[in-house]
Amino acid sequence: MLGTSSGKLAKANHFASKDLGRLMVVAAPANDPLVQELNSWRVGAANVGRATQLAKSPALPLLATVMAAYNLHVNVEGASGIRRVGVTLSASADLLLASNNVALKVIEGSGGRSPWYVLWEKGRIDVSKVSERWAGNLQRRTGSTLLNASRAAGTVAMVFTSAIFVWDAKRAFDAGDKDVSVANAIAAGGSAVWALYTIGVLASPWVLAAGVVLLIGGALAAALMADGAIEQAIKHGPFGIEHRLPHMNDPRIAYQQLLGAIGEPQAKIARLSVWTAAAPEEERRKLELAARESQRELHPLDWVVELQSGLLGQYPNDSRFRLMASELQWVRGHQTGWKRLPARPLSHYKLGAVVMDASRVVYILPHIGSQAHTGLMQMQYGLKVRAQFALGRQECRPNDPFPAFDDLVLPQPAARDWAAFDPQRFPEERDVDGSVPYWLIALSERDSL
């Protein structure tokens, strides 16, 4: 007999002692409740061990550092006023503390105990005087009931992060963006869970994993579910389901907001050689014909700016464009990083408003930089464009009951960021797309010649 499911026969044939040392082999049906419970316990115990190792590794602090850096970049670029100050302080604190935690994990893994490590990791606050449960959780995780400066500072930073998400949730709710409000609330809950785990109030690594998922998922959902210009114009317009914004009580402005959102202009920038290689034959001939008629000589390094909007063909008699451009240059030496030089404005263009079709026009702008690198440095170039479309019909139409509805300036600001049009307001060099109403700002990719 080589094997049996009977415990008596296994003992009688000395299977347990002869083949498996002093272990007893017991066979049972796979669907037996006790067997299923045992399997669940075995899998759970292994996963808890892996989760504990993950919590003690530098992986989480490194993830927090990446998220803090991204949070700092995104929020500082898109914020203004007091919110800009708040998110800058919060994101900067997150970035510094997360970077410090990575360094502390590396020092701990190397077995060293530098004065910097002792400063942050030495226990200083006895939490047993506050809560026995808190003290028990902290002792199970760290072996001590003393709270160190690293955990306390990290918790404070996460609390500020959670407060920023709560603030954003309220702002989105007040603006009528309910989906974004819920997503920010979820992210706030995730960051709060992370804060409680950091300080030791929560002990399970699975709770930490849930908090991280909520934080990342909520932040991503808030970015993806934000209302676009069309949704804002509809929601807050005359027939919208959200509260009507004051300026949307004017039918002309409400019409312009919706029409501008539908025909939102776009800009594409490329070198002439790159654009020519990808353009259809018919469009290349149009460009060559325009160059011959204007007696302009085009260079492969010239810049092509393609402006596109579905509304351009609706205003055939009066299309007035404003286009300002400047060439950017970055330089890098052997011992320095990339450094941006002052922008060089382009005072003229070689070809203006060459019509490709009913929705696209092309400008050709001259290039300035011509040398990609020397023996001592490397150079890269880019083009920054600021464009505005002023559309309207000037012919006399006595039977038109709404003549003012034909005047339109693109791009229109989003409904929640609306401001009255000021023809004397121009963007500055440091402005980015969306920071100046009624102006489209685009930046090409950096390239080396």
Q: Is residue 137 domain-resident?
A: yes
Q: Are 34 and 179 in the same domain? A: no
Please count the structural domains in the chain. Answer: 3
The CB-based long-range contact list for 28-35 (8 Å cut-off, 24+ gap) reads none
Q: Which of 249, 260, 254 is nearest to 234 (CA)?
A: 254
Q: Is residue 230 domain-resident?
A: no
Q: Are 75 and 40 in the same domain? A: no
Please check whether residue 236 is in contact with residue 176, taking contact to mean a CB–CB distance below 8 angstroms: yes
Q: 3-state DSSP call for residue 185?
A: helix
Enumerate residues 6+ apart whose C-beta is below 8 A from 296: 350, 351, 364
pLDDT of residue 34: 62
Q: Are 164 and 288 in the same domain? A: no
Please check whether residue 98 is in contact with residue 64, taking contact to mean a CB–CB distance below 8 angstroms: yes
Amino acid, res. 80:
S
Q: Are 190 and 327 in the same domain? A: no
Q: Is residue 168 domain-resident?
A: yes
Query: Residue-wise pLDDT tens for the chain (449 aa)?
Result: 555 656 666 666 665 554 445 555 566 676 666 666 656 655 554 554 555 555 555 666 676 677 667 666 666 665 566 767 777 777 777 777 777 777 777 777 676 667 777 777 776 788 888 888 888 888 887 778 888 887 888 888 888 888 888 988 998 888 888 889 999 999 999 999 988 988 888 878 888 889 989 988 998 898 888 888 888 888 888 888 888 888 888 888 888 898 889 888 999 999 999 999 999 999 999 999 999 998 989 999 999 999 998 887 776 544 578 889 999 999 887 777 788 888 999 988 898 888 898 888 899 999 887 665 566 778 889 999 999 988 776 555 555 555 555 678 889 998 888 999 998 899 988 888 888 999 999 999 988 87
Please check whether residue 444 is in contact with residue 270, taking contact to mean a CB–CB distance below 8 angstroms: yes
Q: Which helix (H) or strand (E) holds 53?
A: helix 33-56
Q: 3-state DSSP call for residue 279?
A: coil
Amino acid, res. 183:
A
Q: Is residue 191 domain-resident?
A: yes
Q: Are 98 and 42 in the same domain? A: no
pLDDT of residue 431: 87
Please work out, in degrees rounded to the nearest 5, the angle formed at the alpha carbon of residue 386 by the alpha carbons of 81 and 312.
115
Q: Are 41 and 66 in the same domain? A: no
Q: Are 410 and 273 in the same domain? A: yes
Q: Are 15 and 162 in the same domain? A: no
Tokens of 400: 């038109």
344, β-bridge pairs = 327
Q: Are 88 and 119 in the same domain? A: yes
Q: Which of 235, 238, 421, 408 is nearest to 321 (CA)?
A: 408
Out of 199, 224, 249, a domain closes at 224
Residue 171's Cβ-side half-sphere holds a number of Cα atoms within 13 Å equal to 12
Calpha distance 97→373 (Å, rounded): 39
Q: Are 122 and 179 in the same domain? A: yes
Please check whether residue 254 is in contact with residue 245, taking contact to mean a CB–CB distance below 8 angstroms: no
Q: Is residue 16 domain-resident?
A: yes
Calpha distance 21→230 (Å, rounded): 74
Tokens of 436: 């100046």
Q: Write down the residue that tokens 């302080």 correspond to.
A: 89
Q: Is residue 448 domain-resident?
A: no
Calpha distance 289→355 (Å, rounded): 12
Domain of residue 51: give its range: 7-55
Calpha distance 23→91 (Å, rounded): 57
Out of 224, 247, 270, a domain closes at 224
Out of 224, 242, 268, a domain closes at 224
Calpha distance 339→380 (Å, rounded): 10
Pairing of strands 344-346, 146-148: unpaired
Cis amide leading into 345 (omega within 30): no
Q: Is residue 214 domain-resident?
A: yes
Q: Are 46 and 101 in the same domain? A: no
Stated pTM of the model: 0.67
Enumerate residues 6+ apart whose C-beta is below 8 A from 345: 324, 325, 326
Q: Which helix (H) or strand (E) holds 125?
A: strand 123-126
Calpha distance 247→258 (Å, rounded): 13
Q: What share of the chain is helix, strand, coil (3-state, %, to 5)?
A: 50, 15, 30
Q: Are 275 and 414 in the same domain? A: yes
DSSP-derived secondary structure for 59-122 = HHHHHHHHHHHHHHHHHHHH--HHHHHHHHHHHHHHHHHHHHHHHHHHHHHHT---HHHHHHHS
Q: 3-state DSSP call for residue 150?
A: helix
Q: Is residue 1 domain-resident?
A: no
Would you put residue 255 in left (φ > 0), alpha (ψ -120 to 50) or beta? alpha
